[in-house]
Amino acid sequence: MENKNLSRKEFLSITGKTAAIGAAGTLSLNALTATDLFGQAPSKTASPPASIPPQQDEPIVLEKWKSDVDQQSGPTPTPLPPGSRIRYAVVGLGHLALEEILPALSTCKKSRLTALVSGSPDKMQKVAAQYGIKPENCYSYQTYDQLKNNTEVDVIYIVLPNALHKEYVIRGAKTGKHILCEKPMATSSKECEEMIAACRNSNVKLMIAYRIQYEPHNRKLRELVKDRTFGLAKVIEASNAQSSANPAHWRFKKALAGGGALPDIGLYCLNTNRFILGEEPTEVFAYQYSTPGNPLFKEVEELISWQMRFPSGVIASCSSDYNVHESRRYRVLCEKGWLNMDKAYAYKGQKLTTAKADGMMEKHEEISLAEKNQFAAEIDHFSDCIMHNKTPFTPGEEGLQDHLLMEAIYQSARAGKPVKISGQNKPPQRGPEPKAD
């Protein structure tokens, strides 16, 4: 059967008498047959009843067939027509861009990929063919500034090594495009301040890609802590660790990475703790270690372990290691129970479990939410901010705050004593919470 894209008007004129507008402005199509649409069809073909709201952002509701006994599927997606979506240029075609961001952009509802920036013409040509990007929308690092004249790009998404973020954010802001920048925001708090100022001066929005703050299980855990479902939170244990190879990679060069395990993966423990608690640490105490003679850790730390004290009295113990088997988890110990997140910072597969006493029993529960692509959720949040002129939920100031704290953590590890945090004890100003859709 030929696949036709029909406007609502065309659709109604073909379907004619079978379409009716309901009392609440809802369009219902009953007993619509493929014959009505395309002139020929096998017998018994008939569309079941469905509620089809005329508003673009309201989901089509299909005829129900599952019992309420089972977990319900989410609403049908509500993607905007491609021509109405915010258009992205992705800068740096490495692991994260090719493995996660480009595929995620294809599933976004409010965003789409229209341009690429790379230092490798061969790789870019292949990627452009895969994703249908026009040759004239492919740039090198030298021609990057010409994005200014490209009317098919609204946002520049920086996915380069950490030490290059500042230059490409500042050059990007000068093109007048909005900026989404990968974490860690930069390699120092001073660089973050310059990046924030550049975006402010060019009147463009800046968001840092803290995907965990858009991931449903982590958001659910935060809600349960906030509502005190398990009483007051008292202690957090968090670790993000993985194993590394290839000392030639930029992650093991201080000039490109800014640091080792802390800014790359330990940052997730730091940022997620602040996100869950909604408050800022007042003091940190850290240790760090690198195995002598290991070429991976000549310039950056292998292991960092630190404690943070929060104004509410919560103490968070965090660790991050570049030289152990992968483990990404945290647990929040509360007065009346605990909340545990396994695969907490992974790209998918978060596992949220809780424990609570009930008389003679200790009840354990697993809260399993529908999987959602975290990258698509965060990218669509930024697009929504641009469409409705809102400050992002994770603006540049959120990245700056993490850098100030990481500097205090390193200072403590060097000095071997606690470091008080002064001057940044209030959570940074954020935009509204991301929409749940």
Report which residue's Cβ sits closest to ligand NDP.
94
Pick the catalytic residue: 139, 268, 330, 410?
Answer: 268
Shortest CB 214 distance to ligand NDP, Å: 11
- From 48-56, 90-98, 227-235, 402-410, give the range in contact with ligand NDP by CB under 6 A: 90-98
183 is catalytic: yes
289 is catalytic: no
Identify which of 96, 110, 175, 167 has the alpha carbon closest to the alpha carbon of residue 378.
Answer: 110
Based on the shown chain and the rule CB under 6 A, indicate whether residue 160 belongs to the binding site for ligand NDP: yes
Based on the shown chain and the rule CB under 6 A, indicate whether residue 289 belongs to the binding site for ligand NDP: no
- From 93-101, 306-314, 315-323, 359-367, give the range in contact with ligand NDP by CB under 6 A: 93-101
Which of 94, 176, 216, 427 is the binder for ligand NDP (CB under 6 A)?
A: 94
Which of 86, 93, 179, 241 is the binder for ligand NDP (CB under 6 A)?
A: 93
Total residues contacting ligand NDP by CB under 6 A comes to: 21
Which of 29, 155, 171, 182 is the binder for ligand NDP (CB under 6 A)?
A: 182
Q: Which long-range contacts (CB under 8 A, 24 or more apart) does 170-174 make?
A: 170/194, 170/195, 170/198, 171/144, 171/145, 172/91, 172/144, 172/147, 173/198, 173/199, 173/201, 173/202, 173/204, 173/206, 174/145, 174/148, 174/198, 174/202
Based on the shown chain and the rule CB under 6 A, indicate whether residue 176 belongs to the binding site for ligand NDP: no
Which of 209, 270, 352, 377 is the binder for ligand NDP (CB under 6 A)?
A: 209
Nearer of residues 244 and 401 to ligand NDP, judged by Cβ: 244
- From 16-24, 49-57, 115-123, 231-239, give the range in contact with ligand NDP by CB under 6 A: 115-123
Could you give the CA distance from residue 157 to residue 153 in angstroms, rounded to a whole number?
A: 11
Shortest CB 137 distance to ligand NDP, Å: 15
- From 31-39, 118-126, 236-244, 317-325, give the range in contact with ligand NDP by CB under 6 A: 118-126
Q: Which tokens belong to 266? A: 């330990």
Based on the shown chain and the rule CB under 6 A, indicate whether residue 95 belongs to the binding site for ligand NDP: yes
Which of 211, 219, 329, 381 is the binder for ligand NDP (CB under 6 A)?
A: 211
Pick the catalytic residue: 177, 183, 205, 330?
Answer: 183
Shortest CB 259 distance to ligand NDP, Å: 11
Which of 11, 131, 250, 289 is the binder for ligand NDP (CB under 6 A)?
A: 250
Nearer of residues 230 and 322 to ligand NDP, judged by Cβ: 322
Which of 52, 87, 115, 118 is the binder for ligand NDP (CB under 6 A)?
A: 118
Which of 80, 108, 155, 159 is the binder for ligand NDP (CB under 6 A)?
A: 159
Nearer of residues 260 and 337 to ligand NDP, judged by Cβ: 260
Nearer of residues 123 and 390 to ligand NDP, judged by Cβ: 123
Could you give the CA distance from residue 285 to residue 305 in angstroms, rounded to a whole number?
A: 9
Which of 39, 119, 295, 349 is the binder for ligand NDP (CB under 6 A)?
A: 119
Q: Which residues are catalytic?
A: 183, 268
Query: Which residues of this chain interact with ligand NDP, rule CB under 6 A?
Result: 92-97, 118-120, 123, 159-162, 164, 182-183, 209, 211, 250, 264
